[in-house]
Amino acid sequence: MKRTLLSFLMSMAFISAFAQIPTGYYDGTSGLSGAPLKSKLKQIITNGHVDHGYGGLWTGYQTTDRDNLSGIPGYENDGTIMDMYSENPNGTDPYNFTYGTTQCGGSGYTNEGDCYNREHVVPQSLFSEAFPMKSDIHFIRATDGKVNGMRSNYPFGKVGSTSYTSQNGSKLGTSVSPGYSGTVFEPIDAFKGDIARMIFYFVTRYETQLAGFSSGNMLGGSAFPGLQTWELNQLLAWSAADPVSATEIARNNASYAYQGNRNPFIDHPEYVAQIWGNIVPDTEVPTTPANLTASNPSSNSISLSWTASTDNTGVAGYDIYVNGVLYSSVSATTATVSGLNPSTTYTFYIIANDASGNASAASNTATETTLAGGQPGGGNTSCGTEDFENIPASASGYATRTWTNNNITWTATDARTDQDINGSGNKAITIRNGNLTSSTISGGIQSLTAKAQLEFSGTSGSLDVKVNDITVGTIPYTNTSNALVTINNINISGNFVISIVNPVNGNRVSIDDLSWTCSATLGTTEAVKTKSGFTIYSNPVKNNELYVKGDNLNRISKAQIYDLSGKLIQTVENPFKNSNKIHLKGLVKGNYILTADSFSAKFIIE
């Protein structure tokens, strides 16, 4: 843990020493609650607000968004940018930004860690980029440019099926927050309360203008309550679960010094409940999914169906486990598991979840065997395709586009949907300064095939193809060529993520007819009955202790743990020499892969 007991005690001391709320600042709020209290706070925090302009934010960040603000302990305490989207509170950060040095210019930040920019927690498109909202430092944070772009203008909520995960565990995907089923962005737990209180600030400071703003599926159309019901309930839960920190207080003080007004929900967290009410913690688990059946096998897929669970607040989604390893999360009570090996027996069970993270007991186990069809991964045998026929409706603007096909969610950034390749009439996705990225796919990948073509003006070039964030090849393009290109010998087993990146700014490139072959070995090899096969239990992993069962575990010479980007997190020599468990170090909430000798398995940290 980065934060020791000493630093925690120092933080508590600094909370009192550096509160710095001006005497009388909140005069007139005593005895108020609900809408009247919210309106009084709007009056207070409007007075004194000085707009320093959009460019002024870069200067403001020198004191507001630095680790170890105003002498109050942070995480590394090294003066780097305090970025909610890359900070790892419990371990080593994947990267750091230096104030002023790694500041973003225009666009073109393709990878995480390239640079930091200005993230409007409430998207500026909702208020037409008008001032002073556009430059209000209380809800505009310095964050990684790549992750900021992936978050786009989606509301904040709890993610079920994930289409993108940043290196610190922030996620984009399908909402399982009760009352909303669209795409949402979920920060890590350490910053959920921060996000909530910034949005509470926004709908209070600008409450009289909300009727003229777009909702973005988050804002309400009136001064009170100011938020849509589903978003309000989610933010109230986050605010309660992640209380105000010393670092948050320090940022509020620095923002006051810079801008002349304060966030009242940091100074007085009790105002949240006084205005919007309390959220009663939900501790009731959903009922167990029942009557799970596995049917309709093909050579590489099996269909599942089960009886729905019930819950006091509603079931948010279901986790599908294949041979004891999480395969995917869905909201329906049917699913197709793909990427399997022919002539292989698989076992399945289902766990239901609610929006508070309560998980049911496992369903009954269902077993089914795939049909014969030859071992996947060789020759031209395809085990996955994307034809782009499910992309959003034809549109000529450039934006983030998300769709799902064959249980895989695809996200295309800075993309349009109105082009095809060589006038074929078949749908294609067109990328400008962005990328096309899949959700996590199982079964491994040996080769990948696709076609690409330059649209409009520009120069010939190549798209970079990455698997688990490792470049495995390129797809060349011109404005006339449209031939299929195959990248061979990728040979990555287990779970993987495909990303096709356009590295040439301004070139608009269409992509179509994407397919891939599976690796010759089963990615999650718990089903392989060999002398060194293993399974992980329980999964999700609890208390940083990962337990493994299998034959001849003591013969395994080395175990390694990777995140889903392919980054090596931990190595353990002779991991099971004396016991069947591995003590995990510094892993944040998210999905990981354990590899041991030639075997691998996926597990979850909650």
Per-residue pLDDT, 51: 95
Q: How many structural domains are present in the chain?
A: 4
* 365, 403: one domain: no
Task: Provide the Cα torsion 415, 421, 427, 428; round to 10°.
Answer: -30
Of 465, 485, 517, the residue that ends a domain is 517
Pair (432, 317) in one structural domain: no
**Considering the domain boundaries, does residue 1 fall inside one?**
no
* Cα–Cα dist 527/271, whole Å: 54
Give the rounded percent of residues in the chain with a pLDDT score beyond 70: 87
pLDDT single digits (tens) 241-262? 899 988 899 999 999 999 999 9
* Predicted confidence (pLDDT) per residue in 502-540, tens digit: 988 889 999 998 988 876 433 333 322 223 356 776 677
Q: Which helix (H) or strand (E) covers residue 602, if one does? A: strand 599-605
Q: At what angle do helices 192-205 and 34-46 cross, to 10 degrees?
A: 80
- The token duo for 421 is 């390749």
Q: Domain holding 302: CATH number?
A: 2.60.40.10
State whether 96 and 180 are in the same domain. yes
Closest CA to 121 of 85, 94, 81, 166: 85
Give 489's pLDDT tier (boundaries 50, 70, 90): confident
| Pair (500, 552) in one structural domain | no
Res 585 pLDDT > 90: no
Pairwise pLDDT comparison (504 vs 483), residue with the higher score: 504
Confidence of residue 110 (pLDDT cuts 50, 70, 90): confident
500 neighbors 510 (Cβ within 8 angstroms): no
Confidence of residue 75 (pLDDT cuts 50, 70, 90): confident
Does 281 fall in a domain? Answer: no
Q: Are residues 458 and 420 in the same domain?
A: yes
Domain termination residue (choose one: 343, 369, 395): 369
The arithmetic mean of pLDDT across residues 220-240, rounded, is 92
What is the band of 227 on the pLDDT scale with cuts at 50, 70, 90? very high
Domain range enclosing 351: 290-369
Q: pLDDT band at residue 596, thresholds of 50, 70 and 90?
A: confident
What pLDDT was estimated at residue 524?
A: 32
Q: Are residues 297 and 395 in the same domain?
A: no
Same domain, 465 and 536: no
283 or 146, higher pLDDT: 146
Which residue is listed with tokens 């992980």? 536
Are 536 and 484 in the same domain?
no
Q: In terms of domains, do 38 and 131 share one?
A: yes
pLDDT in tens, 18-29: 457 999 999 999
Q: Most distant CA pair in the chain: distance in Å? A: 77
| Mean pLDDT confidence for 79-85 | 90
Mean per-residue pLDDT for 216-239?
92
Tell me, yes or no, whether 12 lies in a domain: no
pLDDT, tens digit (0-9, with 9 covering 90-100), for 411-450: 999 999 999 887 777 899 999 999 999 998 877 788 888 8
Q: Residue 381 pLDDT > 60, yes or no? A: no
Peptide bond into 225 cis (omega under 30): yes
User: Does 23 fall in a domain?
Assistant: no
User: What's the rounded Cα separation, in Å, for the pair 417 and 390?
Assistant: 10
